[in-house]
Structures are given as structure tokens and as C-alpha cells.
Structure 1
């Protein structure tokens, strides 16, 4: 084969490869642009994380803290009180699969929106519910979701809509607690974290209260 033709074939192959890589990179960027985040406070972050990691379109759920005055607080600091933080979960979701409004609809039906003093057996400021919003667009959607929940429930919703605040991840010990096989010592004796989580959730009455409050509309109730 003449050298000129070989050179032309090499150039053609290189051009095709460049175009293919460009398409892949563009597709990757387009997908990345659809990934969004929101921060929700729903009492025990183990439970919120476990609930939402089962939702199609939710890519990641990270337990942490938000809304306080101390940088990088520890779990012990937050639960002791005085830092102003909520236990929260930061959700990363694909907006092409699930919308922000649907996430909020599920969230409001997965917590006791009538309780301003904590959630279920967990009491105190760090266990209060809240929706943290980024800008007026999200605030409008959140306020509409709360109004819809009030109408469906026939009661006032005390869950506030708060401006976005710095998010601080909780210690590794708390991440994916519900799914871990690591052994820990509990009041029931040595148990895997996943078993301890189920025992905690049942004894705390989370699902029972949600079923009582929301009936058939309760989200995640009965599922661990």
C-alpha cells in the first residue's frame, strides 16, 4: 500500500477516535450536569440515609450535620447540644430520574412533620426536621411541597425551610450504618451494625408513628 494511503488511513482513524472520545466526554459532562444535591434533616440520619438510598435516581446519601455555628463538629458535640446543628443527610440525585419535588414529597412523608421537638424517640434540637434550600427556586418548590403535605395531612407542618448552610460529613462510623456487617456492642449484646440499626428503628417507633400519621401515604414505613 502506498505510503500516502497509509498516512491517510492513519489520519482518518485518528480523527474518528478523536470524535468518539469527544462525544463520550460531552455525554459525560451532560450527565454530570444533571446531578444535583439537597440537604434534609429528618431526625436520625441513619434512617434518612437508609430510606433514600433505596430510591431510584438517588446516587448517594451522606450522613452529616448542617445549620450550626461550629466548624467540622463531631457527633458527640452535636448531640450534646449547643452547636445549633441538625443531623442531616446530603442527597446526590439524578434530576432526569427523580425531581426535587418528588424527593421532598417522599421526605415529608418519611418524618413526623407535626413534631417540633425532635423525631420519634430522639429528642432535642439536633433531631428536628428541616429542608435546606439553595436559592429562591428551591425555596418555592419546598414551600409548595409543605403546603401540599398540610392539605393531605389536614394538620400544620412544623418542618421549616432554611437557607443552605455548610455541610459537615459525620464520622465514618455513621456512614451506611444500616448496611454494615461490622460488629458493635449494643444493649442487646454484640450485634452487626445492620441488625443494631433494625433493632433501633423498631424500638424507636419510627415506622409505627409514620403509619399512624400518614396512613397509606407513609413513605418507607415498614422497610429497613
Structure 2
């Protein structure tokens, strides 16, 4: 009987964080949402305006027997600039900062270890500022944000191209992507 787990990652705009995780066996769902703030059931407007304290996140439901948490981390890091404390790429502000929200002690240990390994790798000259903290209540984003890359392909591709995310990934992670 499969034992599914949840992993939650903040990596800036959640539109850009869904697709990298969806194509693998053992990944059951990737849902855009919000975590880490003070308002119950926040709206996209509240989060984007910075009034809620939440970050845009993706919640990944996965089977660790098929796709281990450590493998999720190897996908997560190359999607972000882990040295930017002010947001990600063109998306600025608290709601677009990076974080790993752990749901168990094993996830916490794995996340901290992967962050330490990245810092020691010499890949970046600036410090790794991605937070690692306990998961809180996950609030699913509005329906139009779910699988945005599929339903609004042209808008997704234009936003992604304009953001600078892909250029950063190519420059800094070309050996891993």
C-alpha cells in the first residue's frame, strides 16, 4: 500500500514552480498555494500585495518509495536563485522569497543537508538565504493558478521568458538541468 507524503517549496512565482515537478513517476499532484502567513484563506491579491505574510508555494504529493524527498530537493534548487533574499527574478517582495517547508524531521534533516552541500559547493559566491522551516497551514490558490503552464501556455511562456529565470538557470545550473 502506497504511503504518500507532502513536500512544500517556495520558489518565487508558483506558476514557474509547478511544471518542473509534474513529469515524474511517483509524483501524484503539484498544487499552487500559499503558506507561512497570518491570514486564514488568503487571496492572491492579499499575498501579492504583501498583506498576508504568506509565500507562494507548491505542495507536492509524492510516493517516497518511488521518488524520494532528496530527489525533490535536487529538482528544487536549480529552479531558484537561492542567494536572493528579495524575491525571485522579476518578482520582488516577501511573497516571492524562497523557502523549504518541511513536514517531518527527516525532511528537515535532508533539506538542511542539501542547503549545506549547496553552500559548500562553490556554485555561488553569495550566501544561500533560502529558509528551511516547519510547514504550516497550506491554502490552495485560486483555480485559475492551478496548472497555469498548461491552461495559459502563451502567457506562461511569455512571463517565464521575461522573468530572467531561464537565463539564470542556464547560466548557473546548466550541468544539472
TM-score, with length taken from structure 1: 0.75
From 99, 103, 108, the counterpart of 1:134: 103
Q: Which of structures 1 and 2 has the larger relative contact order (alpha carbons within 8 angstroms, sep 6+)?
A: 2
Distance 2:159 2:32 in 1: 17
TM-superposed CA distance for 1:138, in Å, is 1.5
TM-superposed CA distance for 1:202, in Å, is 0.6
Give the aligned partner of residue 125 of structure 1: 94
Where do 5+ consecutive residues of structure 1 fail to align? Answer: 1-29, 181-192, 220-224
TM-superposed CA distance for 1:59, in Å, is 1.2
SS at match of 2:119: helix
TM-superposed CA distance for 1:98, in Å, is 1.1
- For each residue in 1:105-156, what CA deviation from the matched residue of structure 2 results, as whole angstroms up to 9, or x when unmatched? 2101111111110001100000000000123222111100101112232442
Matched, 1:91 2:60: yes
RMSD: 1.2
Matched, 1:53 2:53: no
Matched, 1:158 2:158: no
Q: Which one has the largest radius of gyration?
A: 1
From 213, 219, 224, the counterpart of 2:172: 213
Where do 5+ consecutive residues of structure 2 fail to align? Answer: none
Aligned residue pairs total: 175
